Amino acid sequence: MAAYANVIVDISLEKLDKTFQYKIPKEWQETLHVGMQVKIPFGNRTITGYVLELTDEPEFDVTKIKPILGAAEGSVAIESQLIELAGWMRRNYGSTMNQALKTVLPIKQQTKQVQRRTVHLMAERGEAMKQLALFEAKHNAARARLLRELLAQESIDYSVVTQKLHIAASVVKGLCDMGLIRVEATTEYRNPVSHLARKDYAITLNAAQQSVVDAVMKDRANGCYQTYLLKGVTGSGKTEVYMELIAEVIEEGRQAIVLIPEIALTYQTVMRFVNRFGERVSILNSRLSAGERYDQYLRAKNGDIDIMIGPRSALFTPFAKLGLIIIDEEHENSYKSETAPRYHARETAIHRAKLCGASVVLGSATPSVESYYCAKAGQYRLLELNRRVEERPLPECEIVDLREELKNGNRSILSERLQELMEDRLQKGQQIMLFLNRRGVAGFVSCRACGYVIKCPHCDVSLSQHNNGKMVCHYCGYEEAVPKACPSCGSKYIGGFKAGTQKIEQVVRERFPGVRTLRMDFDTTRTKDSYENILQAFGNREADVLIGTQMIVKGHDFANVTLVGILAADMSLHVSDYHAAERTFQLLTQAAGRAGRGDCPGQVVIQTYDPEHFAIRTASAQDYELFYEQEINYREMMHYPPVWNMLVILLASPDEQAVAVAAQMIYDNMEQMIGRTFEIQLIGPADASISKINDIYRKVIYLKTDNYDKLIALKDATEQFALTQAVCKNVNIQFDFNPMSGF
Ligand code: ADP
Ligand code: ZN
Ligand code: ZN
């Protein structure tokens, strides 16, 4: 129970850290909480503010601190809920309150809203006609023209008046001053989907889909708002289920948020929602300007829309009566924030839903191990769609052992089997997708004589070779030319060890003369619309083969694709991260799921050097259960999440010495706090797996324990400890709970 409350009175971005301190009266000690709207004395007025923090530390002379007067009456503002959520995020993920607030509150824009102005007739008709006759007599042509038009139609757009009727602004003003007309301005919020043409919506759910919808709606009817994991194979009709649920929730007078990974937020996906819900839908994506984004928050707050679709940040849409949150492709990495607070959208959504009585639906063909674990433990309710719609079969998968290919003298990137199937599809006029799994592995440049690998001088990562003869760092953008000789031994056998998408495109074109290819990777998607353009071109059958990195595996629906080739399936297994097997399984299953979504069945070829690996075997059998069983055993044995919880402390500084000393001190302090207990594992301090980025040195300390709250306590203690250590001043310390990627 705290003695003081820090209260904010203005939630515009630049004032977020301006708080005022008040005493908490005895009778409020139990009920006051972060986010609550309260009445406070301010100068000689009484105003309302939001409680941001509860503390025992007075900020100034205690005799001068005034008490809170009471709770603000009336409806609870949506801001209260979001501030409370920010407080929860701060506690659970580690950040300052300011960072957390900036994450949840829409950023107020200085840019002007778009105004729509209309001109109306003010005077009575009789009076207006008299004036019109007068203007005509005096040859005031412009004045007469405007009055005549306004007598014919009640109001006219201001732009029509000035541009079509050619009437000067001074003339309009003159008539206003005479009290004959008036100009009305209304704020118009930009609508990012208004230009899209709608098609009719006509799909009836099948029995399996309907039973999922019924399960959720029945719970809601009973006042039960919980979290569901919808595990549905690729093409089983999950999106249709989401839309039906949304329609029912809107019927209840409530709103819905749909989270989709940014990369899958394509024209195709958005159109499905617009076709069904029209103007009541809006989107947030990184292509909107800051002003447009802010408009969407206001439209949500004003009740102009019911559905917001967007990536992670759309979770904070200020809907007053939020009833449903959907997280599609819930296993995606992008739901975890990479900056403080490093929140996970899944857990945060569940917490927001708790604050407002909403249901949460997590959907995936390949649920994260974390979510499936929760579903098995009964924390989430599991709902399944085990068949594709209209009884379309799942694609048939086969594994090709690349070591055997080499033995048989095939040195091509394309196995014999894949070439054979490609030939067949090209003849039939069907389309092919080639997926190059190169997550975490770049086309590095190395010396074949001594093995030297060329690295970025600013980051501890290898440079990637590009076609223009340059090597590029994908972390900081650094570029240099490929050297003629090895900097280490002088050998001239240095070059790109490369099976990049460009190389594959070249091989495909040589092998199948006349074939039309499209490529989607880091290089071809740098400009704003290029990603969407490539997808559309492929959808319009302007190419036979689409070659790409993991970008091509995300929820696109191409009915004419009947063959998917997965090249180097095992590459993602060699990443130093305990998620490596899970990622590999997900990537392969999702990529395979691109095949056979139309009327013709699909086929998948998985090429690998490691055909016995369980992630590859289970993915080719499309057996999620078997994969999960093996994976959860491994996590249990290694005490990894979700069985235990993990906290990574990441220390970074341009001062190599300082970061090493600080890491050791924090480690020692941690060891002392923990004492001799087997329930907490402490590992480190060690170099981060990328030990330098942009000349910033990075160290890590890992903590593992079964209890999340213990980790929060240790985080708080470490924060306090670091404040007292001079050496930590020049070191940035960040916390990451249950990290999604390696450090
Ligand atoms: P998922 O999200 O599970 O991959 P989708 O919702 O995208 O599946 O459905 C796959 C395809 O099947 C889409 O083209 C969708 O329009 C269609 N579809 C889904 N449900 C039905 C249904 N009940 N009847 C007919 N077509 C359907
Ligand atoms: Zn060398
Ligand atoms: Zn670099």
Q: Read off the pLDDT of residues 512-538 as tens digits, 9 standing for 90 and up.
A: 999 999 998 877 777 767 888 898 899
Average pLDDT score over residue span 704-710: 91
Mean pLDDT lowest for which of 122-131, 211-220, 371-380, 683-692? Answer: 683-692
CA of 489 to the centre of ligand 2 (A): 4
Q: What is the whole-number distance in angstroms between the Cα of residue 187 and the centre of ligand 1?
A: 39
Position 46 pLDDT exceeds 50: yes
Distances (CA, A) of 631 to 439, 581, 643: 20, 8, 11
**Local confidence band at 394 (pLDDT 50, 70, 90 cut-offs):** confident
Atom 22 of ligand 1, nearest CA residue: 205
For residue 13, the model assigns a pLDDT of: 59
Statement: residue 111 has pLDDT above 60? no
236 lines ligand 1 (CB under 6 A): yes
Give the list of residues 6+ apart from residue 733 with CB closer than 8 angstroms, or none: 649, 650, 651, 662, 666, 718, 719, 722
Lowest mean pLDDT among 58-62, 555-559, 571-575, 649-653: 571-575
Instruction: Please compute the mean of the pLDDT values over residues 363-371 and round it to a whole number.
Output: 96
Residue predicted with more confidence, 574 or 330: 330
Least confident of 43-47, 269-273, 549-553: 549-553
Beta bridge partners of 703: 647, 682
At 373, the pLDDT band (50, 70, 90 cuts) reads: very high
For ligand 2, a single-atom ion, the residues with CB < 5 A are 447, 449-450, 452, 486, 488-489, 491
Residues sharing a CB contact under 8 Å with residue 401, sequence separation 6 or more, in sequence order: 608, 609, 611
pLDDT for position 568: 79
- The residues, ordered by sequence, that sit 6+ positions from 666 with a Cβ below 8 Å of its Cβ are 649, 651, 685, 701, 718, 721, 722, 728, 733
In this model, does residue 284 exceed pLDDT 50?
Answer: yes
The answer on pLDDT for 477 being more than 60 is yes
Give the model confidence (pLDDT) of 91-108 as tens digits: 999 888 888 988 998 766
Among 306, 228, 236, CA closest to 273: 306
Residue 236 alpha carbon to ligand 1 centre in Å: 6
- pLDDT at 223 (0 to 100): 95
| pLDDT tens digits for range 209-251 | 999 999 999 999 999 999 999 999 988 999 999 999 999 999 9
Share of the chain above pLDDT 90, in %: 43
pLDDT for 255 beyond 90: yes
Tokens of 75: 């409806």
Lowest average pLDDT, out of 107-116, 417-426, 523-532, goes to 107-116
pLDDT at residue number 660: 95
Q: Per-residue confidence at 57, pLDDT binned at 50, 70, 90?
A: confident
Task: Judge if pTM exceeds 0.85.
Answer: no
| Dist. CA 472 → ligand 3 center (Å) | 8
Mean pLDDT in residue range 380-389: 95
79-93, 403-417, 451-465, range with the lowest pLDDT: 451-465
| CB of 384 closer than 6 angstroms to any ligand 1 atom | no
Q: Whose CA is nearest to atom 25 of ligand 1?
A: 203
> Tell me, what's the pLDDT at 441?
47
- Compute the average pLDDT of residues 620-625: 94
Three-class SS state of 721:
helix
Q: Give 3-state DSSP helix, strand, coil % of the chain, rounded to 5.
A: 40, 25, 40
Distance CA 678, CA 328 (A): 38
Please, what is the average pLDDT of the chain? Answer: 87
Q: Are 417 and 640 in contact (CB under 8 A)?
A: no
Q: Does the CB atom of residue 602 touch ligand 1 within 6 A?
A: no
Residue 444 has pLDDT above 80, yes or no: no
From the number of C-beta atoms within 10 Å of its C-beta (0-12, 13-18, 19+), residue 587 rates as buried
Q: Which of 431, 378, 661 is nearest to 539 (CA)?
A: 431
| Mean pLDDT in residue range 653-679 | 90
Q: Where are the beta strands (DSSP E) in 268-368?
A: 281-283, 307-310, 322-328, 359-364
Give the pLDDT mean for 599-611: 89
Tens-place pLDDT, residues 271-283: 889 989 988 999 9
Q: What is the mean pLDDT of residues 379-398?
A: 92
Two tokens, residue 110: 């200085």
CA 130 to chain CA centroid, Å, is: 62
Q: Which atom of ligand 1 is nearest to the CA of 205?
A: 23
Span 295-307, average pLDDT: 92
For ligand 1, whether the C-beta of 352 sits within 6 Å is no
Tokens 């929860």 — which residue? 88
Which tops the pLDDT comparison, 485 or 184?
A: 485
pLDDT over 60 (residue 442): no
Positive or negative: CA dihedral 319, 324, 330, 336:
positive
Q: What is the pLDDT of residue 231?
A: 97
Q: Among all ligands shown, which has an atom nearest to the Cα of 489?
A: 2
What average pLDDT score do residues 148-167 get?
83
* Position 197 confidence tier, pLDDT thresholds 50, 70, 90: low
Cα 486 to averaged position of ligand 2 atoms, centre (Å): 5
Percent with pLDDT over 70 in the chain: 91
d(CA 315, CA 347): 11
CB 427 within 8 A of CB 419: no
Say which residue, 128 or 419, is predicted with more confidence: 419
User: What pLDDT does residue 440 have?
Assistant: 43
**pLDDT for 460 beyond 70:** no
Q: Please report which ligand is nearest the Cα atom of 477.
A: 3
List residues, by chain if needed, whose CB lies under 5 Å from ion ligand 3. 456, 458-459, 473, 475-476, 478
Question: Is residue 338 pLDDT above 80, yes or no?
Answer: yes
- DSSP characters over 236-259: S-HHHHHHHHHHHHHHTT-EEEEE
Report which secondary-structure segment, H or E, holds 517.
strand 517-520
561-567 and 431-436 beta bridge pairing: parallel
